[in-house]
Structure 1
């Protein structure tokens, strides 16, 4: 090949998987920046002085000189714009700062609190999926009455607030029956009530979405073809309908994780369970800016990762979408 021919060779195009990956990375960076910006300006709108949190809270009775020294040490006496870009620069290097209230690096706090929250959210998501699939199968296999019962259960469970459901579960299974502990412990029994509290409302919403898709799949041409080939109703349900019914649930997995993380704020507080939600509530109350920012960014990063994985899973389950 001549040099002139090589010079005019068109540049190689980026493949579809690379474009998909670059798009997810770019979108993730934008989400993290937006979250960091919203937290930075939002928490400063809360009445109060962050220097009070640094000195131990409003009850510390710190002197004006001590508060001024704390502001100077943490850069809180600088203009807001300089504080903002300084925080972005630190976050870009992976420096989450030090918690005002705990006097501990935020990364260490997150490393301690993240696993309990992920375990709680992961178990709740699995239980919600199982409940939603059970309601979907009940509605399609039990006739008109079963469909009406399943639909009613989905509507009621989706509308139940976490705090009310947690209170009822504690009253019934802890106070009246004595089967389960009212607070979350290290034992498996201590996880049952928090997991059910998070999973039940999510299961109602997922069940509503998946039931319609399952009904359509049961009446679709490929289901009729499978029955014509001698496939049993159970085989059509397991091999065809469930896969199509799972697609909207997979697509909503990122939203489901966000819902579980937001619900964890209430659930972890009610059941006295250590985790990101309980730490976030306390940090917002005392204006612990580094800890609030760290928890929000970790939650946003988890949301971005789950969204990417759910998109990939959706493409693998449905060949019509195509793999990246």
Structure 2
């Protein structure tokens, strides 16, 4: 009779053998990972994420991390005594808010994630490199234009969101230089962009991840969030959606709240050349590995 440790050894070997076709499928392919503010969670979760990102690099993939930080920005604004204003669910970013947002995103969060990756990859010499969209003009933006209908007149009126930008151009050359360098680097990108005139703008991290994934022609884009994926009207996980079905989920009201911009980002990324986008729960240990290297996956996959 075999003991428990031997049984675990056989189970591990079986898992590795089953994962081999998927590892080969993604060999030398780029995977863009959106690491959301809520999915970051506790330090232990962040360390697990960093270790999994390092493992992807060691298995021959090219992970590129784009992170958010909305909850962290809100907390810092509160400590600084800067009041947040939201219009239609979108944060109005005035000069004071922009200064705090850049400090939190490009400073504290970006460098912390890069550091966790470097620590996790120390034995294999895998290193995290923290960047923002301002570096080498990685992300050029223009001021975001949003409109809403006046409830009384029905007329369209523009909403001034301040220093909130939309990407107009992604220059992926610096990212390509890093992921194909002699050393094993994992780029970590903060969602800060710059206009042609040099003005700094805050950009939605999902939007940045989608635009970057499209520019890199990524094999996969993983949107890590704090829900299992897209749920149907009965609360069941929808494991796969075509672009048309994703649009229908938005139009019919199946997708609500924060899931709508995530699906819109997924649609845009697929149409820009990304093979598929997966929305999954980043709080679950090894969610990325389950999604990429097992038959069942771990979230909702959106593809053409």
TM-score scaled by length of structure 1? 0.24
Q: Which has the larger radius of gyration?
A: 1
Counting strand residues as a fraction of each chain, which structure ranks higher?
2
Structure with more contact order per residue of length (Cα contacts < 8 Å, sep ≥ 6): 1
TM-score scaled by length of structure 2? 0.25
Counting helix residues as a fraction of each chain, which structure ranks higher?
1
